[in-house]
């Protein structure tokens, strides 16, 4: 089964008080009494031979001397299990991992805010080497990619899990060779500049990751420069979220410059929303926008312009409405014209590029950002206008269509 199980004999001598559990005191006492198991931990394959499901989980809890999580035991036959904020700790998550090795039902597991540390993350990684059913694993797996050969996991959320430098370095090593993961959230993990360095090295060779969130991680300009070394050669990453780090305009300039210097860059969004920028940064950004109209850089205030009266930006939907009224067109016609594939679902980057290149409808970048926010409120990355297809001209005047979209 799992190689890490055989190590438990050595750990039992220094096991501390079990974590809090939703079970009653009576159940906890019963579980504790069952911890003196006669399982042959020297040979874990024999120890758990023929044991499955909840029974396997309870046996693993006895071995680890932790109190079982009743919610997990009850839901092993379901595809979705949410274990966020259960205080599992490394030993608790080991028991979870043991129970999931041969499980073919669970496809979505949430483990946010469980403080599993590197020890527990390694166990989950080991489990994923044998389990090919779990497709989405949310939070707390610091070293997942360092050891796993799982080829199905596409979304991984490790936010708020104390990865820090050590965990992120190990994680980055595994990320280099991973060809499946598309969305990775490492926000609120204090990874610092050394963690940024590890991710930069991974970005140089990884050709699968599309969305990376490293917000709130104590990364300063030096860390940003390290990330830039990866961005200069990466050809797949589309979204980079780095808000609420320690960047200044210097780091922000490096990030935008790295995208500009990479002819193969696919970057569509950089979020550094807390960074105070200056006019030189804005000039650089305008140059980048000329060749990369699909790019959206979200930054803070502009230095020296805070006290100035902000430019008025008319409601973009009203601007579109005026154009459509003047040309006797419907909202459907407007979307259909910029939909190259004709599937009624336009990628946000394509929509943004099309709007920037429109000669008939004059919208600036601020208006386009607002327009995208309204049309893709759930941030799916897609502008879906399929609901307009069934609307007949005599039933939905242009003005009503616009009002309806504005409300959404």
CB 57 within 8 Å of CB 99: yes
Say how many residues make up the chain.
Answer: 408
Same CATH topology for 77-299 and 316-407: the answer is: no
> Lowest mean pLDDT: which of 262-266, 312-316, 381-385?
312-316
Residue 396 Cα distances to 98, 315, 376, 387, 388, angstroms = 58, 21, 22, 12, 9
Report if pTM > 0.75. Answer: no
CB neighbourhood size of 286 (10 A): 10
- Stretch (H or E) spanning 385: none
> Looking at residue 401, what is its pLDDT?
54
As beta bridge partners, residue 400 has none
Does the domain formed by 316-407 have CATH 1.10.238.10? yes
> Looking at residue 311, what is its pLDDT?
55
> Looking at residue 302, what is its pLDDT?
87
Say how far apart CA 174 and CA 148 lie, in whole Å. 8
Domain with residues 77-299, CATH architecture = Alpha-Beta Horseshoe (3.80)
* Position with higher pLDDT, 123 vs 145: 123
DSSP assignment, residue 309? P
- Stretch (H or E) spanning 128: helix 117-130
As beta bridge partners, residue 277 has 302
Question: Mean pLDDT over all residues of the chain?
Answer: 77
- Stretch (H or E) spanning 383: strand 382-384
CB neighbourhood size of 165 (10 A): 17
Give me the mean pLDDT over the 350-378 stretch. Answer: 85
* Position with higher pLDDT, 227 vs 105: 227
Give me the mean pLDDT over the 46-54 stretch. Answer: 67
Closest by CA to 153, choosing from 124, 114, 187, is: 124
Residue with tokens 């269509």: 401
> Looking at residue 133, what is its pLDDT?
67
146-193 pLDDT, tens per residue?
A: 444 545 567 777 787 666 776 677 677 777 777 778 888 889 888 999
Tell me the DSSP string of 316-369: HHHHHHHHHHHTT--HHHHHHHH-SS-SSEEEHHHHHHHHHT-SSS---HHHHH
281-332 pLDDT, tens per residue?
A: 999 998 998 889 889 999 998 887 644 444 567 888 899 888 899 989 888 8
What are the strands, taking DSSP E only, across 98-255?
108-110, 136-138, 155-157, 183-185, 211-213, 239-241
Task: Tell whether the model's pLDDT for residue 202 goes beyond 60.
Answer: yes
Mention every residue, 6+ apart, whose C-beta is less than 8 A from residue 239.
210, 211, 212, 213, 267, 268, 269, 271
Give me the mean pLDDT over the 328-337 stretch. Answer: 87
> Looking at residue 135, what is its pLDDT?
57
Give me the mean pLDDT over the 124-135 stretch. Answer: 66
* Position with higher pLDDT, 117 vs 297: 297
Give me the mean pLDDT over the 93-100 stretch. Answer: 90
Domain ranges in the chain are 77-299, 316-407
């Amino acid at each position: 089964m799992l190689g890490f199980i055989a190590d438990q004999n050595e750990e039992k001598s220094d096991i501390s008080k079990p974590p809090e559990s939703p079970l009653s005191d009576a159940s906890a006492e019963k579980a504790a009494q069952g911890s003196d198991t006669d399982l042959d931990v020297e040979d874990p394959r024999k120890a758990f031979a023929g044991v499955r499901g909840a029974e396997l989980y309870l046996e693993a809890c006895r071995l680890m001397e932790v109190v079982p999580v009743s919610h997990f035991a009850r839901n092993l036959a379901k595809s979705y299990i949410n274990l966020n904020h259960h205080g599992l700790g490394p030993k608790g998550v080991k028991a979870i991992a043991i129970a999931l090795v041969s499980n073919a039902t669970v496809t979505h597991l949430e483990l946010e805010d469980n403080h599993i540390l590197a020890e527990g993350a390694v166990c989950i990684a080991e489990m994923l080497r044998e389990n090919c059913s779990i497709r989405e694993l949310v939070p707390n797996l610091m070293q997942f990619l360092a050891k796993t050969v799982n080829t199905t996991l596409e979304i991984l959320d490790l936010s708020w899990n104390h990865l820090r430098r050590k965990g992120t370095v190990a994680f980055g090593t595994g990320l280099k060779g991973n060809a499946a993961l598309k969305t990775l959230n490492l926000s609120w993990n204090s990874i610092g500049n050394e963690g940024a360095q590890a991710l930069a090295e991974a970005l140089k060779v990884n050709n699968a990751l599309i969305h990376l969130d490293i917000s709130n991680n104590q990364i300063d300009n030096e860390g940003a420069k390290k990330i830039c070394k990866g961005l200069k050669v990466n050809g797949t990453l589309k979204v980079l979220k780095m808000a609420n780090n320690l960047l200044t305009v210097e780091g922000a300039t490096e990030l935008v410059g790295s995208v500009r210097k990479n002819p193969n860059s696919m970057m569509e969004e950089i979020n550094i929303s807390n960074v105070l920028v200056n006019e030189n940064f804005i000039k650089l950004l305008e140059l980048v926008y000329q060749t990369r109209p699909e790019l959206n850089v979200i930054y803070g205030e502009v230095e020296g312009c805070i006290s100035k009266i902000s430019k008025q930006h008319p409601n973009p939907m009203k601007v579109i409405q005026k154009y459509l009224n003047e040309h006797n067109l419907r909202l459907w016609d407007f979307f259909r014209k910029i939909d190259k594939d004709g599937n009624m679902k336009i990628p946000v980057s394509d929509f943004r590029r099309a709007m920037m290149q429109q000669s008939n409808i004059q919208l600036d970048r601020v208006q386009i950002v607002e327009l995208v926010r309204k049309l893709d409120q759930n941030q799916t990355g897609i502008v879906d206008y399929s609901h307009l297809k069934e609307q007949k001209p005599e039933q939905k005047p242009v003005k009503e269509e616009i009002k309806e979209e504005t409300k959404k």
